[in-house]
């Protein structure tokens, strides 16, 4: 597979999403090599000197005041990695770990970390050869960097820890050897450069963001289906309404819904003589809610794009100024905020979608659709409990959306007395996206069933293609059957983006 060439400081989110989805290897643009080597020379000079430089010839954290002898600096870095391999829980998915490795390349490529080029090449070769460190998912508080998970990643570079290669979990040295690679002992500061950083939290947050945006696009499609299923009005989609408010996401969401519903016979059939004056908010306010969530996701995207390209270890080598300076770029507060914002958006997209599901199964609100969308209610329960499932997942996501970044606690003998909690704030997004995909999948099942009941009236051409895509795997519900596989299939079509793509219409992009 052709590697993605990453430009430190200028790699866009679209390229990182390709990496995450495709599993392609990654390499740094070689234009960054002189800067990397200049910083490495600065560290070598500092290590040979008498002055105490944090992380080069001192202890770490609360032990920073202890000077380390020049002959012990390599042992210092090795001990740092081994002692910090304290992660617990299930291993990270391969795609997350590989994205984390690529993000670490980007950070080191900024030329402010002081590592030798050979270590960058080894990390690149691990990606190219499919050597994936086993990284437990729990143990980081998001400052001073994602220490434990990044230590598990780095351990493999020195022949320790564990890695997966060729479908087998092997000790680090054996995994490298299986790929024709060899470990590299760490020099001064190099261990600290690898574990002081936000790449674990950022990788999880990016994956959550990409999944959330896919769900937002799918929600536009499923909500258009629901609007036609309950014979909702398109009047609230008039472009002037949305331009008068001015929010970009709202304007784009309304435009997408207009395009999706354009040409629907169902819509045209009730323009005149409809006794309803207004639709419920879950239909009428779709652009205002989903559009607002899209705007929030874009704010998070800009933060995470910046963070993905950042130098986030400590200390940093400022070669132009001739200084090695301790700072706090390892603190993942921006990532924590972005994760919390993403969680709120996921929760709200699901909340309004669940209300549309509830609307469609309720005969008092669905404008003449049969109870629970079954042609023979009473004998059959139809989609009654599918709606209950969406209510359960909506509520679960509401709880998961509570902010994590506000939940700091002091660590490391109060040296690290405020932390971001970005790691688990970002990790929860995967579960939330899975829940949202199910909610939207059930909405698609309900809406397609509702549109079928409107025959002989036809929906729009784009939405007819969406229904056909769903029906290719999930037949209409004529009588009760085992529904779990149907829900799983519809959710998979949402997660893959297949259902949204079936409309054959452009949908809003995350970033231009």
CB distance 176 to 361 below 8 Å: no
Per annotation, catalytic residue among 20, 54, 204, 337: 54
Q: How far apart are the first and last CA of the chain?
A: 26
Phi and psi, residue 288, nearest 5°:
-70, -30
CB distance 24 to 95 below 8 Å: no
Closest by alpha carbon to 29, among 6, 9, 4? Answer: 6
Q: Which residue has the tokens 């209409």?
A: 476
Cα dihedral 224, 225, 227, 228 sign: positive
Q: Using CA atoms, how far apart are residues 424 and 477, in angstroms rounded to an integer?
A: 40
Token readout for 55 is 């992380």
Closest by alpha carbon to 183, among 125, 229, 235, 222? Answer: 125
The 3-class secondary structure across 58-97, one letter per residue, is: ECCHHHCCCECCHHHHHHHHHHHHHHHCCCEEEECCHHHH
Phi and psi, residue 252, nearest 5°:
-70, -40
Token readout for 239 is 């472009």
Token readout for 134 is 């086993």
Closest by alpha carbon to 339, among 400, 255, 269? Answer: 400
Q: Biggest alpha carbon distance in the chain? A: 89
Cis amide linkage into residue 456, ω under 30° from 0: yes
CB distance 163 to 97 below 8 Å: no
Q: Is 482 known to be catalytic?
A: no
CB distance 19 to 4 below 8 Å: yes
Q: Which residue has the tokens 């297949």?
A: 498
**Helix or strand holding residue 5 (H, E):** strand 4-6
485: CB partners within 8 A, 6+ apart: none
Q: What's the DSSP call for residue 377?
A: B
* Active site members: 54
């Amino acid at each position: 597979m052709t590697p993605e060439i990453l430009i430190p400081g200028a790699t866009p989110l679209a390229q990182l999403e390709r990496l995450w989805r495709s599993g392609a290897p990654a390499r740094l643009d070689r234009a960054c090599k002189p800067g990397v080597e200049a910083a490495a020379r600065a560290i070598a000079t500092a290590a040979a000197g008498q002055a105490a430089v944090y992380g080069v010839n001192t202890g770490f954290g609360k032990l920073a005041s202890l000077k380390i002898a020049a002959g012990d600096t390599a042992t210092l870095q090795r001990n740092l990695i081994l002692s910090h391999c304290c992660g617990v829980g299930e291993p990270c998915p391969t795609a997350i770990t590989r994205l984390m490795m690529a993000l670490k390349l980007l950070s080191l490529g900024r030329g402010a970390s002081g590592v030798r080029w050979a270590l960058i090449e080894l990390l690149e070769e691990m990606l190219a050869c499919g050597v994936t460190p086993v990284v437990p998912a729990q143990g980081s508080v998001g400052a001073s960097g994602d220490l434990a998970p990044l230590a598990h990643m780095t351990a493999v570079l020195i022949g320790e820890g564990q890695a997966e290669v060729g479908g087998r979990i092997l000790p680090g040295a054996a995994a490298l050897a299986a790929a024709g690679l060899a470990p590299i002992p760490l020099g001064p500061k190099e261990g600290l450069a690898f574990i002081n950083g936000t790449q674990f939290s950022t990788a999880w947050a990016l994956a959550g963001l990409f999944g959330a945006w896919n769900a937002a696009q799918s929600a536009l499609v499923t909500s258009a289906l629901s609007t036609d299923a309950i014979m909702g009005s398109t009047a609230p989609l008039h472009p002037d309404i949305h331009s008068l408010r001015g929010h970009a996401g709202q304007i784009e969401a309304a435009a997408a819904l207009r395009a999706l519903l354009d040409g629907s016979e169902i819509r045209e059939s009730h323009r005149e003589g409809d006794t309803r004056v207004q639709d419920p908010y879950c239909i009428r306010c779709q652009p205002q809610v989903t559009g607002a969530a899209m705007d929030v996701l874009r704010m998070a995207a800009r933060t995470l794009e910046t963070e993905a390209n950042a130098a986030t270890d400590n200390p940093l080598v400022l070669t132009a100024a001739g200084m090695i300076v301790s700072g706090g770029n390892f603190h993942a507060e921006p990532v924590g905020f972005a994760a919390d914002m993403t969680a709120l958006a996921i929760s709200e997209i699901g909340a309004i979608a669940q209300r549309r599901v509830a609307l469609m199964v309720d005969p008092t609100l669905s404008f003449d659709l049969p109870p629970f969308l079954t042609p023979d209610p009473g004998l059959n329960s139809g989609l009654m409990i599918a709606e209950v499932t969406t209510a359960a997942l909506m509520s679960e996501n509401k709880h998961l959306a509570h902010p994590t970044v506000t939940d700091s606690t002091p660590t490391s003998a109060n040296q690290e007395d405020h932390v971001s909690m970005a790691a688990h704030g970002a990790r929860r997004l995967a579960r939330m996206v899975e829940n949202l995909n199910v909610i939207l999948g059930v909405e698609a099942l309900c809406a397609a069933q509702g549109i079928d009941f409107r025959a002989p009236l036809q929906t729009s051409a784009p939405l007819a293609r969406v229904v056909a895509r769903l029906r290719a795997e999930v037949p209409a519900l004529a009588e009760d059957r085992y529904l779990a596989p149907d829900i799983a299939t519809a959710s998979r079509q949402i997660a893959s983006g297949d259902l949204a793509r079936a409309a054959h219409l452009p949908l809003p992009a995350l970033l231009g």
